[in-house]
Amino acid sequence: MLVSGILEPAFFVRRLSLPFPWQRSMEMSVQPNELLLGCGVAFVGSLGGVTRQEAKRIVKRAGGVSCKLSDSKLNLVVLGADEMPDGDPLDQLTADQRLAVEEGRIEVIDETQFWEKLGLVDAEQNVHRLYTPAMLAQLLEISVAKVRNWYRRGLLIPVREVHQLPYFNFQEISIARHLLQLTSAGASTGKIVRHLQELSERHPDVDRPLSQLSVLVDGKQILIRQGSELVEPGGQIRMDFEALETNQEVQDEPRTIDLTRFRLDRLSEPGERAGDATAEELLSIAAQLEEQDQIEAAIEAYRSYLVGFGATFEVCFLLAELLYRVGDLNGARERYYMAIELNEGYVEARANLGCVLVELGDLELALAAFRGALRYHPDYPDVHFHIARTLDRLGEDHEAEQHWKTFLRLAPESPWADEARQRLSSKS
């Protein structure tokens, strides 16, 4: 079935429960804004942050006027972050209005820019309004490894990084949902990357095709709507993940990769070829294997890299993640330790080490790992959550309560917020 926009129908029933930390309080925080005073604002498509009625009330509080696209008082068109309707919404504009758009008298912006205009999303993006990889994975009900893979491939772009920990805004959530839709239909990450690069080449003024173009998804196909046409003669670009060119210079992700051809002897110069692979090629192979769920083979590829090219904190971390996925907790623990030794400020490695230590039953050492992460990043919400849980298990109710409260202050609408509220209510 053809699905339009960023969001699948299955997600619509959950939209209002999305963890936008400012969703519930933003309406009351809006003050009259000189940029919107007397401005006629029309919303197009489904909004990612609030309902349409809430958005209209926000416009009114800011001094603007909600209107339809066809209204003569129209000054601003806001394109929703979640889904766009069929056809080009700007086709509903009159000829005079389209001319006004071209001349800049009517402004067309996306939802993120609208919230920035109102001051509800800071240019620096306060971490209270953002999502860590773990939060995003929990929200989409996918593995953290998948989120990190999209991030490493450049499909998700963080708006902020704190000691190698990426934070994503709600625009990236919309893109992640779209990526999930494509991968669930069978499109590999590598093919998605390649076809998005083709789209960027066809649209040089577009940096993020999945968020900036009117995108529709049909199975493993990406369709780009131009005007009201969906066919080639009308200007439609159709990206079919099944129809791959047979003369590609670079083969798509192989089903199997023979790692025996990589020499495991330590090389004297970084970048020198190990058997048939350079360091960069080995990392690419490991990522491909991981995407294909060939976890054991991916582990061997990362080990080949470490033996051939030396240890880096990034590769130690990636190897630890895979060891954890195959149930080798002791191996994961040691690789997390090594990642921290190589980069003591790597807060995500410290947090993950703490989680592994909890599973191994070493709660006191886990607390030390968590607290070490907070020394470098005091506002790391995931860590406050895990500390609170661990302290509860140790019977340290008072200290646990402080961390539950801090977690809720930092991430009041995170996927784990309900658990935090339940724990606090049980203590009162």
**Structure confidence by residue, pLDDT tens digits, 117-154:** 777 654 444 444 678 898 888 888 888 888 988 988 88
Residue 55 has pLDDT above 70, yes or no: yes
Closest CA to 69 of 87, 45, 89: 89
Per-chain mean pLDDT for the chain: 75
pLDDT mean over 99-122: 76
Residue 71 has pLDDT above 80, yes or no: yes
Closest CA to 230 of 88, 21, 77: 88
Extract the tokens encoding 292. Answer: 């294909």
pLDDT mean over 314-335: 95
Q: Quick one: pLDDT at residue 229?
A: 39
Q: Quick one: pLDDT at residue 373?
A: 94
| CATH architecture assigned to 127-240 | Orthogonal Bundle (1.10)
pLDDT bucket at 5, cuts 50 / 70 / 90? very low
Structure letter (DSSP) for residue 128: G
CB 397 within 8 A of CB 413: no
Residue 59 has pLDDT above 80, yes or no: yes
DSSP annotation string for 385-416: HHHHHHHHHTT-HHHHHHHHHHHHHH-TTSTT
Residues 6+ apart with CB under 8 A from 325: 143, 145, 295
Q: Quick one: pLDDT at residue 18?
A: 31
Strand partners, 74: 40
Q: Which residue has the tokens 């071209």?
A: 102
Extract the tokens encoding 148. Answer: 């990190």
CATH class, range 21-118? alpha beta
pTM: 0.60
| Single-letter amino acid, residue 28 | M
Q: Quick one: pLDDT at residue 383?
A: 95
Q: Encode pLDDT of 200-251 as tens digits.
A: 777 676 667 676 555 555 565 566 554 443 333 233 445 544 443 433 434 4
Residue 270 has pLDDT above 90, yes or no: no
Structure letter (DSSP) for residue 270: T
Domain 259-427 = CATH 3.40.50.300: no
CB 77 within 8 A of CB 44: yes
Highest-confidence range of 76-85, 148-157, 350-359, by mean pLDDT?
Answer: 350-359
Extract the tokens encoding 334. Answer: 């040691």
pLDDT mean over 261-285: 59
CB 5 within 8 A of CB 84: yes
DSSP annotation string for 71-99: -TTEEEEEE-SSB--SS-GGGGS-HHHHH
Q: Quick one: pLDDT at residue 201?
A: 75
197 vs 333: which has the higher pLDDT: 333
pLDDT mean over 367-375: 94
Q: Encode pLDDT of 169-196 as tens digits.
A: 877 888 888 888 888 877 778 778 877 7
Range in 108-122, 181-195, 368-382 the model is least confident about? 108-122
CB 101 within 8 A of CB 108: yes
Helices (H), 111-153: 111-118, 133-140, 144-152
Q: Quick one: pLDDT at residue 248?
A: 43
pLDDT bucket at 86, cuts 50 / 70 / 90? low
The yes-or-no answer to whether 127-240 and 259-427 have a common fold is: no
- Domain regions of the chain by residue span: 21-118, 127-240, 259-427
